[in-house]
Structure 1
């Protein structure tokens, strides 16, 4: 059974989320502040976090930043602010999805299920690929560069592994969104560009002579490598 950490200071909303999630087979933990959320995360290590942006002792962005320093646990942001800038801020900060209030309980459950599906094992192959100092285990989802593990957000890892599974193939933004974010994603395709930018930053130190995440103008992105 998957455990969901609900971080929401409005008790009524928290209870509604708890009821819908438990009805659909999830166990839940409730926190009502950022401080409680960080403690609950450290204690219970949930499978996914529903994180409200507006909290009584700060904001969800700070909680997300703290969690991302040590974990790639999937996070869905909840907020009454529907402005696209807030959506982009959440995705840029490492959130996996974004739901605006007011929302329908069934939609939240569907989003949780979709994010968990995308966070599960993507590849059945146990092959390990190595390109110079970059080593990719498609089974364990581990990426090492120069002998050190590379840390990605869950979404960035999914984008990178999808590209790595198809080396030297070009994918448009729309194809990446469909395969990584899912066909139900209704956000901006700029999320793809932001993910690629973060992935490149994480891979700084990987020699361009061994490979690169290449932009093909007007076409899309490609994991361009030289296989031996």
Structure 2
């Protein structure tokens, strides 16, 4: 049974959605952005229904935090007066929106469509094997034999960027500017710190193989013998 997280501070609406969805899905409810993020980590939901105006962290902040670690579908719950914000949320990673007050059948349909699209992503698209580990492109994780390690956003971006250019050597400046989308400043240690963290997390699953190779005097690249 799919898990759905409802983050909505209006008790009546939160309970209404839970009652509507609970016959087909496991539903968890949160009433603030901070509580919602905590439940997101605990429940690992398959879809999130997210209100825009929330106490604590607002909808924009919650969406940003979710997208650092997961690509699960997020449907925004908007009031009529908030529709001007919809395009901004869609550009920032939301998958869909529904305006309150909503029609029950429309909400059910939008949830079903987003879950179907997410599930229909082929494993070939979501799971990328690299030597002895697998990169889960949808959930910012690396996997091996039932074990998993969650990557931070920059760690994940570095790994997937190197995966997309398996034989290319990148200087520190090139890799930094590709990931951070800004000019590299001499002495900035951000990239080195992220590379170190990434190597340590990979080593938790496979300490025998080298995955990110340093070519002294040139830069770094994905280590050879990819499978």
TM-score bin (small chain): 0.5 to 0.7
Tell me the equivalent position of 2:117: 118
Q: Does structure 1 residue 55 correspond to structure 2 residue 54?
A: yes
What is aligned with 1:17? Answer: 17
Query: 1:38 aligns to what?
Result: 37
* Structure number, greater radius of gyration: 2
**How big is the alpha-carbon RMSD for the aligned residues of Structure 1 and Structure 2?**
3.4
Structure 2 CA distance for partners of 1:4 and 1:150, relative to 1, 3 Å: closer
Extract structure 1 runs of 4+ deviating beyond 3 A.
81-85, 147-154, 202-207
* CA displacement 1:65-101 (0-9 Å, x = unmatched): 1111111121111110466642211111111111111
Please show how residues 8-157 of structure 1 align to structure 2 within 5 Å. Answer: 8-23=8-23, 25-81=24-80, 85-123=84-122, 138=124, 141-143=126-128, 151=137
* TM-score normalised by structure 1 residue count: 0.56
Residues in 2 aligned to 1:204 and 1:85: alpha-carbon distance in whole angstroms: 34
The number of equivalent residue pairs is 150
Where 2:71 maps in the other structure, the secondary structure is coil
Shift in Å, 1:54: 0.4
TM-score of the superposition, structure 2-length normalised? 0.56
Structure 1: any 5+ residue segments left out of the alignment?
124-136, 155-201, 208-228
SS at match of 1:28: strand
Q: Which runs of 5+ in 2 are unaligned?
A: 141-158, 166-227
**What corresponds to 1:131 in structure 2?**
none
**What is the alpha-carbon distance in structure 1 between the residues aligned to residue 51 and residue 30 of structure 2?**
10
